Structure 1
Amino acid sequence: MTAPGAPGAPGAPGAPAAPADQADLLRRARRRTSAPGNAAAAASATRTPGPVPRGTGPGPAPLSHAQQRMWLMERLGQGGPRYHVPLATRLRGPLDLDALAAALTGLTTRHHVLRTRYGHHDDRPHQQTGPAAAVPLPVREAAPEAAAAVLHAEAARPFDLATGPALRALVVRHAPDDHTLLLTLHHIAVDGGSLPVLAAELAALYAAAVDGRPSGLPEPELQYADYARWERARDDRLAAAAAERAAHLAGARPLPLLRAVPPASPERGAVLHAAPLTAGTLDGLRRLGARHGATPFTVVLAAAFAALRTATGASDLVLGCAGGHRARPELRRLIGLQVNTLPVRARLPEPDGDPAFTELLAAVRTALLDAQEHHDVPFDLVVERLGPAARGEDGAPLLAVSCDLVRPAEPLTLPGLTAEAVEVDLERAKFGLTLLVEEGPRPRCLLQHDPAALDEPTARRLHAAFTELLTALAADADRPLSRLPGARLPTPAPAPARKEHPAVTALLADPRVTDAALHLADHGPALAYASVRGPVAPSGAELRAALRRRLAEPGHLPLAVTLVDRVPRRPDGTLDPARLPGLPTAHLTAVLDAFADLLGTRPAADGDFLRLGGHSLVAVQLAERLRTRLGLPLTGLDVLERRTPRALAALLAARAAERRTTGRRPAPGALSTRAGTVLLTGATGGVGAAVLQELLAQGRPVRALVRPESAHLVAGAGVEPAEGDLADPDSLRRAVAGVDTVIHAACTFTEHAVDVAATRALVEGWRGTGGFVLVSSVDAYGRPAPGEVPEGAPSAGPLSAYGRAKLDCERIVLDAAPRARGPVSVVRSPIVWGPHRRLRDQLRWGATGALYQAALAGRPILLPPFDGGWTGAGWVHSAALARAVAQSAERAPGRIVNAVTGHVSWADLTAELVRLLGSPSPVAHGPDADPELLRPWHYRADALAAVLRPEPGEDWRAVLAAMTAGTAAGG
C-alpha cells in the first residue's frame, strides 16, 4: 500500500511508539546543561551542507540518527515486524532461479548496507559491513490460495541485527512457470527512496546473469556508512537546529482523540479502514492545489487538519509527514535509510471565524514549507530537546498522527516475466492514527489506527468524515468549514475512580494474604506490601507472579510485592508510608550514581527519568551499567517502566532477594558454582520455558543462558541468569563453566552455522558429571520410508536445511559421549504444542500454519488423497517434552530418542480447526495438495514412553483449543 519511510508505511523512522523511544548519543545527554544554541547556529545547520565524502573508511561506522532509532526499538523489544519491509511479486513465465540468486548476491555485494551488522561497544551502537556471501534463495511449494500464509509468516520472521544481513529472499512455487518472489528487508537498511534503485539494479543484474554477461552497472559512488559518518559529523550544528525546532513546537498538545499507549507495549496492532474515491475526486483535489499554489499532498494534509479540527475542536494541531535527503544528487542512488519525520504544526483559524477551507489550506501550506526547510534536523533530537513537553500529562506522544499521499506498491519487474505486485500486510502500527490517500487505478481513502490508541467506532466515524470531506473539497473548497462534512467526536473519558486499587483487591482475594496495601510515590510506579500466613507462605515474587496472571490491565501490576509482618496503618485505617520498610541503601545509591553519570545531575529518589531528560538510548545504557555494577538483571524497558530511582532500587532489591534464595550472590560479572547446577539454553522460548518449569519443580538449581534484555524474564528463585548469545562463543564458554548438567534447547532456526558453532562451544566447555541433552528435531530423520520410524533410525534424504543443521549438532554431541563423565543423549521432537506464546506461533508456520490460516480466513482447504495412506503430524506437549528432557539429563535412555505425545491426521486436525474457529472452509482431498502435507510417518517413542504419557489437559484437542483461542485473540 505505502512506501516505507512514509508515515504509516512499514517502519517510518520518526514514528514514535512513545516519546521515550527517541534517542541521541550519550555525549549529548552529558552536555544537556549547555546552551541550546541560537537562531544563527540553527540556520547554519539547515543550510545545504557540503557534499557527502566518498570512501571514508571500511571500519565500524556510527549509526545515522534514523538507524539508531531502529536499533533502539529492537533493543527495547519494540521493533519486530512493524519495521520489516516486505516486497512480494507474482512472476509468471520461465523464472531462472540461478540467475535470480546471482542477482541478489550481486545486489548485496554492491550495497554494503544490505549485509551490515549492528553491534555495540562501550554502550554505543555501531555498524560493520559483513562479508560478501551468496544470498540464500529457498523455494517453497504452495498453491496460490495457500501462499498468503507462507508469505506472511516469512515476512514476519525476526531479523537479528547483531548478526545480519538485513535482506532475505524466498520463492514460493505455484507451478513450473508461476512463482511469487518475496524480499523481506529490515527498515534499518532501506527507505521508500531505496526501493526503485533496488528494483532497477536487481532487474539489470538478473538480465545479465541470464545472458551470462556483466551487468554494466557503475560502481556505487557512496556506501551508507559514508552517509552516516557525514551526518554524525554535523551533530553539533544539528543539535542547535533541533533546539530551534523544539522551541517552535513548545506549547503544542497531543491530539485529544488518542489514548496514551504504554512504552512497554510489545506489539502495536493495526486496523485499516478503506473507502473508494473516484478519479474525479483526485482530479478535483489536484485542480484545487494548482489554483492555490499547493501540491496534491499539501491539499490532502490540509484536509486531514480540517477533519481533525472539526472532530476535536482544537485549532493548534501537530501532524507528521516524511522528509528526506534524496534531493542531494549524490544520495539519489544510495540504498539506505535517509528519511526523517517532519512535525508540521499548524495554528488554524479559530472556530468562531468559520473560515473557508482555502484559508486553512494557506495556513497548512505555510506550516509545511517551514517544516520542509528543516528536513535534515533529526526528529529524535527535537524530541530530546522538548523533554517533558514531548508528551501530554497522560504520557501520550505529541506526534502520534501522520498523513501521506501514496501510490500502490510497484512489482519487482524481471526481464522475460510478467510481474504483479502482491500485498503482504503485517498489520502493525507505527502511529496511533494515520490518514492516507492512495492514488493509482483504484484510488482510495485510508485510515490506519492502533486500536490501543483509538477505539474502533471513533476510527470508523473519523474515516467516513475524512472520505466525505475529500469528496466535498474536490467539488467546492470555498465553502466555510461549518458547511463541509465532519463530525465532532468524543474524547477518551478518564478512567473511573476506584475505591481500592485492583492489585490490592487481587492480593486480598488470596487466602494466604492477611492484609495488603499499595504505595504510589510521586511520578513513580506502585509498590505493594502484604502480610501473609500459613506454614508454606508465598514469597513476594510469587504473589507478584500471581498478580500478573489475575490483573486484566498490565498497568495495574506493582513493580514489587514486599512482605511485612504487619502493614503499617494510621488510626483511620489508611496506609502510613512513613513506617514502610526502607529501600536498601546500596541499591538506591547505585541507581542515583548511575543517573548522575548518564544524565549529568543527581536526582531526588522520586525524580522521573523522562522528566530529567532521559530517553531510550540512555535507558539502555543505564540498565547495562547497573547490570555490570550489581550483577542483577535489568533492561532498558525496566528503566522506562519504573522511571524513578526509588522504583528501580525497589525492583533491584526484589531481584536480589530472589537471587539470595538460590545461594550466595555472585560478584558482578561472575557466576556462582552451586553443586548440581543445570545450564539451560533457550529458557525464554516455548520449549525452554517448559523445561525450566520442570527443573524448578524438581528443585534443581538452574543457570539460564539469556540475552541481557531478557534476563528479567527468568530471574527468580532457583534461576541464575547467565548473559550470553548463541552467536557469542565466549559467552557460551563462560555460561557452561562449572555446571554439572547441560540442556541445550536454544536454536536460531535460520542461522545454521551459528547453531553448529554454539553446540561445539558448549560441548567443548562442559566438564560436569551430569548429563548433556540436546533438544533436536525429527527433521533430522529427513524423509524415510512411509510407516513407523524407530528411534535413532538412519536419516534419509532429502533433508531440509534445518534438519541438516540439527543432524550436524547431534554428531558434535554424540561424538563427545565416549569422553563424557555423565549421560549424553539427543531428544528428537516433532511439532511442540503448549500454552506458551512462542508455541502458539506454531499455528502460523509450516504445514500446520497453512491449514490454520486457511481455516481462519474461510478459504478452501485441500488435503492429500486418502488412497495415499495416512498423512499427518507427530506432536508433543511442551510439558511432556520437558519431563522427557529432564529425565534424559539424569539417566540417558539411549543415544537418540524420540519425544512424541501422539500423531494426528491432517483430516482430524483440519476438522478440529474448522470447528474451533467456526470456519466455513470446505475441506477436500486431491493430488494437488501442498507437498509439505505428504508426511506418512509415525515416530516411535519407546524409551521415554512412561514420562510422555499425557497428563490431564495434554490431549491434542484440549491444547489445540487453548492455542487457537490465544492466537485468534492475538490477531
Structure 2
Amino acid sequence: MTTAPDTAREAALLRIARQRQAAKRGSAAPEAAVGTEGAGGTTGPAPLSAAQRRMWLMDRLGGSGAAYHVPFAARVRGPFDPQALGRALTALVRRHAVLRTRYGQRDGEPYQEALDAAPVPVEVVAADGDVAELLREAAARPFDLASGPVLRALAVRHAAEDHTVLLTLHHIAIDGGSLAIVARELGALYGAALDGDDALAGELPGTLAVPAPQYADYARREHAAVDALENGLEFWLGRLAGARPVPLPAPAADSGAPARRGQAALLAEPLPPAVLKGLRAVGREHRSTLFTVALAAAYAALLEQTGRTDLVLGCAGSHRDRAEVRELVGLCVNTLPVRVDARSTGTFGDLLDRVRDALLEAQQHRDVPFDLIVERLGAAARGADGHPLVDVTADVLRAPAALELPGLVSEPVEVDLETAKFGLGFYVEEDRSDGAPPRCLVQYDRARLDERTARRLLRGFAGLLTAVAADPNHPLARPQSASGAPDSAAPAHPAEQCLRDRPEVAEVFLLETDGRPPLAYVVPSRTGSLDPMGLRAALRTRLAPELVPAAVTVLDVLPRTADGAVDRGRLPGAPAAAAPADTSGVRGQAVLDAFTEQLGRRPAPDDDFFLLGGHSLLAVQLADRLRERLGLPLTGLDVMEHRSPRAIAALLDRRGEERAAALAAVRSAARPADTPSRDARPAAARTGTVLVTGATGGVGAFVLRELAARGRPVRALVRPESAHLLAADGVEVREGDLGDPDSLRSAAAGADAVIHAACTFTSPEVDLAAMRAALDGWRRGTFVFVSSVDAYGQPPVTEVTEETAPAGPFTAYGRAKLDCERMLLEAAGTGGRGAAAVVRVPIVWGPHARLRDQLRWGATGQFFQAARNGEPIELPARERGWYGAPWVHGAALARALVSCVERPGGGVVNAVGGHVDWRDFAAELIRLLSSSSEIHATHAGPGADTEAERGTGAAAGPDFLLQHRRRYRPARTLADELTERPGEDWRSVLAAMLEV
C-alpha cells in the first residue's frame, strides 16, 4: 500500500501523463476534408464523440457482448411488404450517415467514417419454433464496428399478413431519443416506398424535406471544445475525490454455476397506481421530479443494505434539450455520477433534499464527458477489486418509441438480450405500452450479485417507494456495522475499537487467527489519509503487545459475501489466500516487459496499471501484445480487472494450466474401435458462431486471432491429433478433416458463418469433395472461401482484377479452386443460405510455423535452400511483364476474410498485400541468412514464351510456380483491411518467418 506522500506523487505523475496523452490524441486526430456528407455536413474521417469512444473501447476490450445492441421490434399485421421496408431503410441510412458509419483505427486512435449508401437487406425467415429465442439470437449477433454496418433488419413471417419486424442497431450510433426519430421517419419512408421508387426520390413531407443534421459534425464540435472543459473536469475531480464504488456483495460460492460478466437478470414487483401518484406528490413537495424521488429511494435501499453513507450512483444525462440536437440521430447521452453523503439524514425527506441538490449540481456540469472524467481519475475510477466507480444506476422508464408502419396494425415487441451495462440498476415504470400496472424493477449483473441479495434489494426498494408515497418523512433504516452485523453485535476487539475512534478511518475489520496476532483491515474516510505503519505504531502505545495487529492493510472497500458479511477468504494476506504468483518465470517476465514497453517504465510486480498511467485503450494494446507473445487468451478487460503484473501473470499461469490439462485430456482420450469417429448430428452453436476450417494452419491461426479480437464465437474444425493446439482458448473444437465429409457437414450445420480456409495443395479431388460436404451442411449466414490467384490461370493480360476472366492453362490446384468457387457461388442464396464470397489470395506470409514451412519447402523453397547452403540462387527467366510474385500478410488476409463475413457483398475479391521482385527477395534472403550465395538470372530471348504459357503441359514444374508476370490488383472494398500495418512489410515479415 502507498503512503499519503507516495499517493500525491503518483497523482501528480498521472496528471502529467494524462495531459501528454490528451495532447497526443489531439494531434493525431484525423483531419476532415471539406465537402458534404449525406444530406449535409462534412466528409472524411471524424473523431469519435466521447460517448462513442466508450462504446468503441467496450467493444475492443472484449467484455461488452450484446450489452450495447439496441433491438427495436414490432409485431405488424396486415399486407406487409419487406421490399418496401428495405427501400425505406436504404433511404433512412442515406439520410443519416451515422447509420452507415464504420469505426476504424489509426495510430492507436479510433475514427469514424461514413460509408457510401448501400441497399439495406431485409432478411425474411419463417416463424419456426421459439420465436422469442430466434429474435434474441438475431439481436445478439455481433457487429463489426471496424467495417460496419451498424443496422440490420429481420422479418419473421408468422402468416401471410402477420410478421414480426426486428431492427437491431449498435448503441454507438443511436440512443433512446434517436429511436423516436427513426420510428417516425421510417414510417413516412415506408409509406413512400409503397408508392414506388419515384415517391422516395421526390420531395418528402415534413422534416424529411429538410436535410438531416449529421452526427459526425456533432462529434467534431465536441472534440474541438475539449480544451474548454478543464474547469468542469476540475469540478468533477474534486467532487469525486475519495469516492469508492458501491460495495456490492459478490455472489456466494454456493449460488450455482458462475455467471459470465454482463449476464443480466431482472426482478420486478408491481406497484399500485396510487403509489406513483403519491411519489409525484412527494416530489412536488420537495421541488423534485419523479426521477429524483426514485433515485433517492435507490440510495435509501443501498444505505440499508451496505451501511455506507457515502454513495455514488450513475444516471443518464441527455443533450437533446438543445435545438441543434433534437432531430439528430446518434448517441447524445452522457453518464452523470451523482455523489450523496447521507450522514445525519434521519428521514427520506432529508435524503431526497440532498439527492436533489447533488443531482442539480451534477447537471450543471453535464457537458463534461464521463469518459474524460474516468481518464483523468485514473486508478481512482475503480475500486481495489477492479469494479468501476459508477456501477449502480437508477431511472424512470417510460413507454419506448413504437415502430408503426402505414397500413399495418403494430404492437411493440420486447427483445430481452439478458445483458447488463451496470452491476445493479433500480427502475420505476411510469407507464407501459401494454397498459399494464406500473412496476419497480431491479436488474443486476449475475457475476456481481446473486438472486437472494437482489430480491432483498428489490423488496427494500419497493417497500420504500410504497412507504414514502404515504409518508415522505418515512424514517430511514439504521445502517449495519462494517462487519455486516447489526450495531448491537458483540463487543469489538480492542484494536478494532481503537481504530474506529480515529476520524480518518471509516470502516474496520479484524481477522483473528488461532495463536497469532490479528490482521487489521481499514477503509479510509474523507477526512484524511491513512498511513498503515503510523496506525500500527499508535496501537502499540495503547494496547498490550498480543493485541496489536500483525499488519494494518488499507483497502478501498471491504469484500463482502452475498449476505453482506465481510468475505474473509478475499481479504489480502488471509491464511486461506493463495500464494502470490511468481513474476520471475517466463510469463511473469513477459508481463513486466509488456508493461515497460506499453507504459514507458519498468513496474514493480504489484504496481497498479492505472497508477502507472494506464487507461482503457492501453489495456487493449497491452492485452494484444501479451496474447501475441504468449499464445494465451487475454483481453483488455482482463488487464483492467487484474491490474498488476503479478495478478496478470497469475491469470496467465492459470490459463496455461487449463491448456495443459486440456492437452492431457485430448491425448489420453481413447475412442473404442467400434464407435463411429464422428457424430453426424449438428451441435448447437453459440450465437454468431463462425466455423473455421484449417484452424491450425497458417491462415486459420490468423483468422482465429482476428475473430477473437472481434469477440466472435468460433467453431474450429481440426484434425484429432491437432485438437490440443486450440484447447482452452474459448474455441469450440470439432474434430475432422477434409477427407471426412461427415465431419465437415456436421461442423457447418448450426454455424452462423463459414470461413473455409483448409486445402490439401496436392489432392484436388479431396478439395472438391470437401466443398460439397461443407455446402451440404451450410444452411445460413455467409460462406467465405479462401481461394487462390491460381484460379485465374493464365489470362492474356498483365493487370489482373476481379473482373478478369480465368483462362487456361491451369495447374491442378488452380483448376480445383476454380471448380470449388463455381459450386459455392451456385449454392449461395439458395435454401436459406446467405451470401458467398470468394477471396483469391497469392502466397501468404506471416510468422507461423506452417507458413514458414511453405517458405522453406514450397514455391520459394529453392531460393531458401540455396541461400541457406551458400549455393548460387537461380532466378527464373526474366520475361515481359512483372518479375516477381504477389503476396499477402496472414494478419491482413484474416482481416479481409472476417470483413467478408461481417460485410457480405458476395462475389470474387482479391486479397493482395503487394508484390515482391525476385531479385530483391533473393538479396534479402542472403542478407538475413548471412549467406555467401550469389544471384544468377536466366534471360529469355526477345518475345520468348515459356512452355507453360504455350500450354504444353509443363505447367506444374517448379519454374512455372515462380513465373508470375502478372500483377494482381487488390479489392477496393478491402482497402482498409489490406493496408499494411507496422511490421507487415515484406522485409519485416520475412525476417520474422525465419525466426519462427
TM-score, with structure 2 as normaliser: 0.55
1:88-113 per-position Cα deviation (integer Å, ceiling 9, x unaligned): 10111121222211111111111111
Letter in 2 for 1:344: V
Distance in 2, matches of 1:448 and 1:28, equals: 35
Distance in 2, matches of 1:325 and 1:169, equals: 28
Letter in 2 for 1:594: E
Instruction: Report the number of matched residues.
Output: 639
Deviation at 1:81, TM superposition (A): 1.3
Distance in 2, matches of 1:57 and 1:458, equals: 51
Distance in 1, matches of 2:21 and 2:703, equals: 45
Deviation at 1:295, TM superposition (A): 1.0
Q: Is the 8 A contact 2:279 2:290 kept in 1?
A: yes
Distance in 2, matches of 1:585 and 1:489, equals: 37
Looking at both structures, which has the greater relative contact order when contacts are Cα pairs under 8 Å and sequence separation is at least 6? 1
- What's the counterpart of residue 351 of structure 2? 360
Select 1:591's aligned residue among 594, 605, 608.
594
Distance in 2, matches of 1:495 and 1:817, equals: 83
Distance in 1, matches of 2:228 and 2:363, equals: 17
1:37-62 per-position Cα deviation (integer Å, ceiling 9, x unaligned): 9xxxxxxxxxxxxxx99965311111
SS class of match (1:138) = strand
Alpha carbons of 1:684 and 1:750: their partners in 2 closer, same or farther (altered >3 Å)?
closer
Select 1:416's aligned residue among 407, 424, 438.
407
- What's the counterpart of residue 461 of structure 1? 456
Q: Is the 8 A contact 1:318 1:399 kept in 2?
A: yes
Letter in 1 for 2:94: T
Equivalent residue runs for 1:479-628 within 5 Å: 479-482=474-477, 587=590, 590-597=593-600, 601-624=601-624
- What's the counterpart of residue 100 of structure 1? 85
Distance in 2, matches of 1:822 and 1:338, equals: 52
Letter in 2 for 1:268: G
- What's the counterpart of residue 71 of structure 1? 56
Distance in 2, matches of 1:252 and 1:151, equals: 41
1:810-829 per-position Cα deviation (integer Å, ceiling 9, x unaligned): 9979999962359959999x
Distance in 1, matches of 2:19 and 2:65, equals: 35
Deviation at 1:415, TM superposition (A): 1.5
Equivalent residue runs for 1:106-125 within 5 Å: 106-125=91-110
Q: Is the 8 A contact 2:103 2:147 kept in 1?
A: yes
Q: Is the 8 A contact 1:704 1:720 kept in 2?
A: no
SS class of match (1:619) = helix
SS class of match (2:385) = coil
1:366-402 per-position Cα deviation (integer Å, ceiling 9, x unaligned): 0110111111211122122222322333333221110
- What's the counterpart of residue 705 of structure 2? 707
Equivalent residue runs for 1:772-921 within 5 Å: 780=775, 802=781, 819-821=811-813
Deviation at 1:622, TM superposition (A): 3.3
Distance in 1, matches of 2:322 and 2:371, equals: 22
Is structure 2 residue 228 aligned with structure 1 residue 237? yes
Letter in 2 for 1:819: T
Deviation at 1:172, TM superposition (A): 0.9
- What's the counterpart of residue 30 of structure 2? none
Distance in 1, matches of 2:165 and 2:191, equals: 16
Is there any run of 5+ residues in structure 2 with no aligned partner, and where?
A: 1-12, 24-36, 487-506, 515-552, 555-568, 571-577, 660-684, 727-743, 794-805, 822-830, 833-849, 851-996
Deviation at 1:621, TM superposition (A): 2.8
Deviation at 1:688, TM superposition (A): 6.0
Distance in 1, matches of 2:87 and 2:310, equals: 53
Q: Is the 8 A contact 1:84 1:184 kept in 2?
A: yes
Select 1:225's aligned residue among 212, 216, 219.
216
Q: Is the 8 A contact 1:777 1:806 kept in 2?
A: no
Select 1:350's aligned residue among 344, 350, 353.
344
Alpha carbons of 1:470 and 1:627: their partners in 2 closer, same or farther (altered >3 Å)?
closer
Equivalent residue runs for 1:400-439 within 5 Å: 400-439=391-430
1:444-485 per-position Cα deviation (integer Å, ceiling 9, x unaligned): 11111112211211211221121121112112213333599x
- What's the counterpart of residue 724 of structure 1? none
Q: Is the 8 A contact 2:745 2:775 kept in 1?
A: no
1:540-583 per-position Cα deviation (integer Å, ceiling 9, x unaligned): xxxxxxxxxxxxxxx99xxxxxxxxxxxxxxxxx99999x9665
Select 2:298's aligned residue among 284, 300, 304.
304
Distance in 1, matches of 2:95 and 2:143, equals: 21
Q: Is the 8 A contact 2:338 2:358 kept in 1?
A: yes
Larger Rg: 2
Is structure 2 residue 283 aligned with structure 1 residue 289? yes
Distance in 1, matches of 2:343 and 2:782, equals: 66
Q: Is the 8 A contact 2:752 2:782 kept in 1?
A: no
Alpha carbons of 1:234 and 1:494: their partners in 2 closer, same or farther (altered >3 Å)?
same
Select 2:378's aligned residue among 387, 394, 397.
387
Identity score, percent: 47
Alpha carbons of 1:188 and 1:749: their partners in 2 closer, same or farther (altered >3 Å)?
farther
- What's the counterpart of residue 983 of structure 2? none
Distance in 2, matches of 1:424 and 1:282, equals: 26
SS class of match (1:481) = coil
1:217-251 per-position Cα deviation (integer Å, ceiling 9, x unaligned): 13434211111111111223335522420220112
Is structure 2 residue 323 aligned with structure 1 residue 329? yes
Alpha carbons of 1:612 and 1:300: their partners in 2 closer, same or farther (altered >3 Å)?
same
Is there any run of 5+ residues in structure 1 with no aligned partner, and where?
A: 1-26, 38-51, 500-521, 524-554, 557-573, 660-681, 722-742, 783-798, 829-845, 848-885, 887-971
Q: Is the 8 A contact 1:634 1:708 kept in 2?
A: no
Q: Is the 8 A contact 2:38 2:95 kept in 1?
A: no
Is structure 2 residue 307 aligned with structure 1 residue 313? yes
Alpha carbons of 1:434 and 1:824: their partners in 2 closer, same or farther (altered >3 Å)?
same
Q: Is the 8 A contact 2:394 2:426 kept in 1?
A: yes
Alpha carbons of 1:397 and 1:105: their partners in 2 closer, same or farther (altered >3 Å)?
same
SS class of match (2:43) = coil
Select 2:140's aligned residue among 156, 163, 171.
156
Distance in 1, matches of 2:623 and 2:650, equals: 14
Letter in 2 for 1:341: T
- What's the counterpart of residue 529 of structure 1? none
1:498-528 per-position Cα deviation (integer Å, ceiling 9, x unaligned): 99xxxxxxxxxxxxxxxxxxxxxx99xxxxx
Q: Is the 8 A contact 2:38 2:94 kept in 1?
A: no
Alpha carbons of 1:361 and 1:635: their partners in 2 closer, same or farther (altered >3 Å)?
closer
- What's the counterpart of residue 496 of structure 2? none
SS class of match (1:342) = strand
1:802-854 per-position Cα deviation (integer Å, ceiling 9, x unaligned): 588789999979999962359959999xxxxxxxxxxxxxxxxx99xxxxxxx
Alpha carbons of 1:211 and 1:133: their partners in 2 closer, same or farther (altered >3 Å)?
same
Distance in 1, matches of 2:413 and 2:580, equals: 62
Q: Is the 8 A contact 1:318 1:345 kept in 2?
A: yes
Select 1:398's aligned residue among 389, 395, 413.
389
- What's the counterpart of residue 471 of structure 2? 476
Select 2:158's aligned residue among 152, 174, 183.
174
Deviation at 1:298, TM superposition (A): 0.9
Q: Is the 8 A contact 1:259 1:454 kept in 2?
A: yes
TM-score, with structure 1 as normaliser: 0.56
Deviation at 1:265, TM superposition (A): 8.4
Is structure 2 residue 73 aligned with structure 1 residue 85? no
